Chain A
Amino acid sequence: MTDYKIHVLICGGTGCKSADSDELKKSLKQWIDEVGLEDDVQVVLTGCFGFCEKGPIVKVLPDNTFYVSVTPSDAEEIVKEHLLKGRVVQRLLYRDPNTHQQISDSKGMDFYKKQMRIALRNCGFINPENIQEYISRDGYMALGKCLTELTPEDTIQEIKDSGLRGRGGGGFPTGLKWEITRKSEADQKYVVCNADEGDPGAFMDRSILEGDPHSVIEAMSICGYCIGASKGLVYIRAEYPLAIERLKIALDQAREYGLLGEDILGTGFDFDIDIRLGAGAFVCGEETALIHSMEGKRGEPTFKPPFPSVSGFLGKPTNVNNVETFANIPVIINKGASWFNKIGTENSKGTKVFALAGKINNVGLIEVPMGTTLREVIYDIGGGIKDGKEFKSVQTGGPSGGCLTKNFLDTPIDYDNLLKAGSMMGSGGMIVMDEDDCMVAIARFYLEFILEESCGKCSPCRIGNKRLFEILDKITSGKGEEKDIERLILLSNVIKDTSLCGLGQTSPNPVLSTILNFRDEYLAHVNEKKCPSGQCKSLLKYEIIEDLCTGCTLCFRNCPVGAITGERRQPHYIDQSLCIKCGVCYEKCKFNAIKLT
């Protein structure tokens, strides 16, 4: 590699790419050429830095300067000032919202201080399209160690000792799964990586594949060695074009370097990986459904047992793990189980990646040790609630999870605690909600998702969830009665107990947890026909308070349906028959003259 003095890392994750980081890279390169620094400065498009809120992110090494919200037009200043003269561009630095201090080094940011990056260790550090950069950070060392020093049994024991549990949602011990698959006898076995991240609001698997695809390839090879498989398959959503592209590049490079294919590292071990595209079905995250989908069929789940580790893809023993689980494997082999199992809580070892989103200041991808409290995640790392509003709830585990209240803020996050609290770890989506979010509407939102995604095979899930949705719809449109709440609980429990697969068995969780934690909101909807957060439109009426209205015409000009009338400098009126309750007038009014009733 050329000896560059300065490295400029630009985030090439989906969030930043959507905000023009490609254009930014081009612009930076142009200016670097222009000032003649092309032999000294290397510009690298990396994986996700995690700090998506303020993307695109640019990091300059070796001084570790961290620029946020950089646009292509800022390139000239960065090159001329920073790269040429060594003067940091102050205005592009991150400003701590509490202390208002500018922070130049990302290590000084609260967002990064409490994080511990294992699965995301390379995201934002290396160019994912260059295998050498992965290798230079101990890449493929674990595979080499397994193939030359460890037997498959030793390796499985190491994974078992590490206490690693499946990061896709279920939390099944990974080492045990490998052992069962190893013990299943067959002429052919398969290693499958589940990258069908369907949980809305979760993007950790995507970021790992985009930012560090080789870690998954390496881990799958190790798994193949352990269970005795020569074939691996990555089942990935077709909606992730960038991740697919980078994975393909990585697979080609690994083959070129003899790290995939026949006789890997001269040890006689054969292993290769294929990509299978998903086609948009949430239920395919369930392993039996995923396997059917890979076989070209409808992605409907089947009853377990037999488990895929006994009879999976094409009827052969198949080990299915999720992307994040795999990304942990090389580190465990390199640093040892005893290093890994010191991190985390008693029954949940290591770290967990969360996609922090919703009404929070620092939206992004974070990785924290198990046992970190929700408060630390939301307030220290996440920077608290947007616009200084009040925290109401945090939803973990996606459509299978639940909504937790502020009473749980000091609960250490791990598999068991979240279950006890009525939610679950899930794949790691973490959506923060504030006082403006209606919890009944949120439950309805998740049920609508489930309705669309239920495969229809078993009746509790297909019909039961439809009824749940209808009752919730009735409540949010002001037609509910108190009895409906009990109906919801009864029906939810039946669906949980009788559904065929994990999707149905967990689908009522958002309903149950919101009733448990926010029953008063349900009661307000059914008894008073009011939505306390003002989100359920059918229960709302926007009205202009005559005394406060100055007649500035701002609402009149912004109303998309022309429902507001009034003369300049005279109080305005809203015609209720035309109002679509979009809330634009409410947002635009500078005099608080619009009230919700």
Chain B
Amino acid sequence: MPKIKLAESTVKIIKDVCARFNNSEGELINVLHTVQHKLGYLPAEVQEVIAKELNTSVAKVYGVVTFYSYFSMIPKGEFPISICMGTACYVRGAEQVLSEFKRQLKVEVGESTSDGKFSLNCLRCVGACGLAPVVMIGEKVFGRVAPTQVKQIIAEYREGCSSEKAKSA
């Protein structure tokens, strides 16, 4: 992976977050949550800064980042798509919905489209089992999604109208 040079301002953001948590190693997960929230993802270079600030090893930070599924080392798309793969959604056909998204976007799970618009991920149960199968795009929840609707949902985001429409529930 080519090295990214972090901007001064980015380094400052990271340092400020670490300072807010008293540069304490025990707050590593909180620091990672906050930094990811601000920067969108946690590339290796960011982890290096965090390790230094919290006075711990990069290996340890990397170990934690890769352990938890919530943390990501690659940037998410402009519209992150998450398919719920909880059991309730699975038995109501989430797998077919997922394969249709993969086919339409030509990406695998965990990847982003080349134009950076969409990224595809699975998640475990959003707790809206009554609407199964559920797909989340950003913060928006789509319920009772059928494979045949996938194309239309993607098209709507491509054309720039993101909310209001395409709600099947």
Contacts and interface: CB of A to CB of B under 8 A. Distances in A.
Interface in B43-87: 63-64, 67-71, 85-87
A165 to B, nearest CB: 24
Given A200-B86, A277-B30, A584-B147, A18 B99 contact: no
B105 interface: no
Interface stretch (A258-266, A352-360, A415-423): A352-360
Contacts of A52: 128-131
Contact of A398 (B67, B87, B132): B87
A445 B70 CA distance: 21
B167 interface: yes
Interface string B100-134: 10010000000000000000000111111111101
Given A14-B126, A203-B127, A296-B27, A238 B87 contact: no
A355 B129 contact: yes
A19 interface: yes
B90 interface: yes
A527 interface: no
Contacts of A15: 127-131
A296 B130 contact: no
Given A18-B143, A431-B87, A238 B130 contact: no
Interface string A344-377: 0000000000010111000110000000000000
B16 to A, nearest CB: 18
A5 interface: no
Interface range for B? 35 or more
Contact of B67 (A281, A433, A560): A281
Interface in B1-52: 25-30, 32-33
A296 B100 contact: no
Contact of A238 (B70, B92, B103, B125): B70
Among A199, A200, A359, A442, residue most surrounded by chain B Cβ atoms (within 10 Å): A200
Given A280-B68, A299-B67, A240 B88 contact: no
Interface of A: 14-15, 18-20, 52-55, 198-203, 206-207, 238-240, 276-282, 293, 295-299, 355, 357-359, 363-364, 395, 398, 429, 431, 433, 437, 442, 445-446, 449, 452, 455, 558, 560-561, 580, 582-584
Given A296-B29, A357-B132, 12 more contacts: A15-B128, A18-B143, A54-B130, A55-B130, A200-B86, A276-B29, A279-B71, A298-B63, A298-B67, A299-B68, A433-B91, A583-B96
Interface of B: 25-30, 32-33, 63-64, 67-71, 85-88, 90-92, 96, 99-100, 103, 123-132, 134, 141, 143, 147-148, 151, 167, 169
